[in-house]
Amino acid sequence: MSLTDPPAWEGTSSDPNDEQFGRVVSPAEIEDAGDFRAVLVGEPYDGAVIGRRGAREAPAAIRRALAGVKTHHFDEGPVAGVADLGDLPVEAYNDADDPENHVADVQAVVADEAAAVYERGALPVFLGGDNSLTVGNVTPLLAGDDSVGVVSFDAHLDCREPADGPTSGTPYRQLFDAGLDRLAVVGARHFETSTAYADFLRDSGGTILTADEVGRGPVETADFALDALAACDRVFVSLDVDVLDQTAAPGASAPTPGGVTTRELFSMLRRVAADPRVVGFEVVECAPPLDDEDGRTVGAAARAVAHFLAGVVSRD
């Protein structure tokens, strides 16, 4: 593995009773990844973004925000058993000439590195980075005989054709071509996709659950998404922060109104993460340079990670 050394984690509170993620996340080597409930892996790359860039800075920013978050969930208790493996070696691609021309190379690098994490029996939490990285994060799961599905929390379907090469808008078209069995998109926004892509997803056996449906019952919507993947042996969970309303995530790569609330998202993430078939999670399209001065989007992304981990804890 060629991961960078993980950063040192420190809490931000002077109260010794405040058990924060900064005090419980352990920097670790890849060889020990299987000893933890989950492992964080940074992916600082945004060369494939359609629109506003800045997501390359998210892994470091999310780590800083998460370090100050307390680990206690009222229903599940404290989150523990989390390690940080460092960042994947993709940073240099951001500064290459025409970085968008290197997207396929980045996806291949990520797939190779992610495969090594899965091979150790670890549950990775990938901190992106842009949505093109989903291809690398999911591709290793398609190599075996298990059927694989994805629950994608996203305002968009990301099923564009990679006619001129892959982008942040093409990952699920690429993954279906590579053998993905099912996709359930949760929080899709009206007037944010084209009819051709909605038709493609439905024709491919996909499921679309709109933000309106989430508003009528987030937990029920999460259950419906999992039911749509009932035939799948393994499930990957993707969070594009633009699924949140732009008031909650102004620093998304493509913020728009009409999205889900943070409370709805957190409830759905816990519900989905509790499913024992879930083997990986990612947060993508969080762009700290585009965030407001309070770091609202980064804070939401960090707490989304915390809620996902609480769902994993509930499996015990």
Tens of pLDDT along 162-217? 988 999 999 999 999 999 999 999 999 999 999 999 999 999 999 999 999 999 99
CA distance linking residue 167 with residue 46, whole number of Å: 10
Task: List the structure tokens of 28.
Answer: 């670790």
Closest C-alpha to 269, from 313, 299, 230, 316: 313
pLDDT at 98: 75
Indicate whether 1 pLDDT > 70.
no
| Residue ranges per structural domain of the chain | 21-313
Confidence of residue 97 (pLDDT cuts 50, 70, 90): confident
Paired strand residues for 209: 186
Which of 89-103, 104-118, 214-228 comes out lowest in average pLDDT?
89-103
pLDDT band at residue 99 using 50, 70 and 90 as cut-offs:
low
Q: What does the pLDDT read at residue 167?
A: 94
Buried b / exposed e over 57-94, threshold 16 CB at 10 Å, is bbbbbbbbbbbbbbbebeebeebebbbbbbbbbbeebb
**Which is it for strands 82-87 and 38-43: parallel, antiparallel or unpaired?**
parallel
d(CA 87, CA 75): 32
- Size of the chain in residues: 316
Tokens of 170: 């093409």
Encode pLDDT of 104-123 as tens digits: 999 999 999 999 999 999 99
Closest by Cα among 57, 43, 203, 68 to 128: 43
What's the longest Cα–Cα distance across the chain?
A: 56
Q: Are strands 82-87 and 234-240 parallel, antiparallel or unpaired?
A: unpaired
Of residues 95, 84, 92, the one with CA closest to residue 42: 84
What residues pair up with 125 in beta bridges, in sequence order?
40, 281
Q: Which long-range contacts (CB under 8 A, 24 or more apart) does 257-260 make?
A: 258/189, 258/190, 258/211, 259/155, 259/187, 259/189, 259/211, 260/153, 260/187, 260/211, 260/214, 260/215, 260/218
Return all residues near 77 (Cβ < 8 A) that are at least 6 apart.
313
Query: pLDDT tens digits, residue range 138-162?
Result: 999 999 899 999 999 999 999 999 9
pLDDT at 108: 96
- The type of residue at 182 is R
Element (H, E) at 88: none
What is the Cα–Cα distance from 249 to 178, expressed in whole angstroms? 32
Q: Does residue 308 register a pLDDT over 60? A: yes
CA dihedral 81, 87, 89, 93 (to 10 degrees): 140
Residue range 25-41: mean pLDDT, rounded = 96
pTM above 0.95, yes or no: yes
- Please state, rounded to an integer, the average pLDDT across all residues of the chain: 95
pLDDT at 110: 97
Which residues are within 8 A (CB) of 68 and not within 5 positions of it... i.e. 6 or more apart?
11, 12, 13, 20, 21, 22
* pLDDT at position 163: 87
Give the CATH superfamily of 21-313: Ureohydrolase domain (3.40.800.10)
- Residue 267 host element (H or E): helix 262-273
Residue whose pair of structure tokens reads 């009932």 in the numeric block: 230
> What average pLDDT score do residues 247-260 get?
96
